[in-house]
Amino acid sequence: MSALKKAQCALFSSIYEFEGPVLDCLKARLGIPVYHIGPMIPYFDLKPTSMIYKSNYFQWLDAQSKDSVLYISHGSFLSVSSAQTNEFAEGIKDSGVRFLWVTRGVRSQFTDGIGETGFLVHWCDQLKVLCHPSVGGFWTHCGWNSTCEGIYAGVPMLTCPIIGDQVPNSKVIVNDMKIGLRAMENGVNPEKVMSRQQVAELVKKFMDSESDERRDMVERANKLSNTFRRAVAEGGSAASDLESFINSI
């Protein structure tokens, strides 16, 4: 904060509608222009014109029912114990829920017993996947970019924070915005493993289309998505601040 006071301006990858009081506080404390320019995610490149849409995982998603797929990306698996990863894999398979999982290609247990229920990739175009109509949930480590992508896509989230800003981001998703459930408590405790039974029950509950709790999460997620999209559209709060920043230069 003390270093920021020496800057000519500050840019934040958020929107005013989500963090207005914080941004107002920063403007008052810093005494320099503060711009909220929207998330640093590729929302401007979502039209199905690129070769990425011909990828095999998109072909698999096209064959799935609406809102039926759980997209899973935990960031680097180096942050999660092997024992916990095993329980995640077995529990998700036991849940019977269809899933697309970014596995980083480091563990063979993901390939056993999946059949047509799941699809494994080393990498995918995350925002395009989240915006696909068959994707109904996002199991995330709650990095800020991933959080923004989940909100932009209007997809409820299962949170699995590990370190740093992931923990408060999880709190915002679950407690403040109420668009998700917490899969793991704050931080992953290597001595406390979530069992495959717990994982299976949680995933089934989270993806249950007949659940009133899920319906409420989906409704709130859609409203927040619309707010996000208006902010980055022409004339929106983030688009206007970006234009103001460019004009100041």
What are the sequence ranges of the domains in the chain? 4-38+231-248, 53-222
Q: How far apart are CA 76 and CA 60, in angstroms?
A: 24
pLDDT score of 82: 76
Sign of the Cα torsion 19, 43, 186, 95 reads: positive
Burial of 51 (0-12, 13-18, 19+ CB in 10 A): exposed
Closest CA to 92 of 198, 214, 208: 198
Closest CA to 168 of 187, 193, 145, 181: 187
pLDDT tens for the chain, 249 residues long, are 888 888 999 999 999 999 999 999 999 999 899 999 999 898 877 765 555 556 899 999 999 999 999 999 986 544 667 788 888 888 999 999 999 999 875 555 566 656 678 999 988 999 999 999 999 999 999 999 999 999 999 999 999 998 889 999 999 999 999 999 999 765 556 567 889 999 999 999 999 999 999 999 999 999 999 999 999 999 999 999 999 999 999
Quote the DSSP letter at residue 222. H
pLDDT score of 239: 95
**Does the domain spanning 53-222 belong to CATH 3.40.50.2000?**
yes
pLDDT score of 77: 47
Burial of 101 (0-12, 13-18, 19+ CB in 10 A): buried
Q: How far apart are CA 150 and CA 173, in angstroms?
A: 10
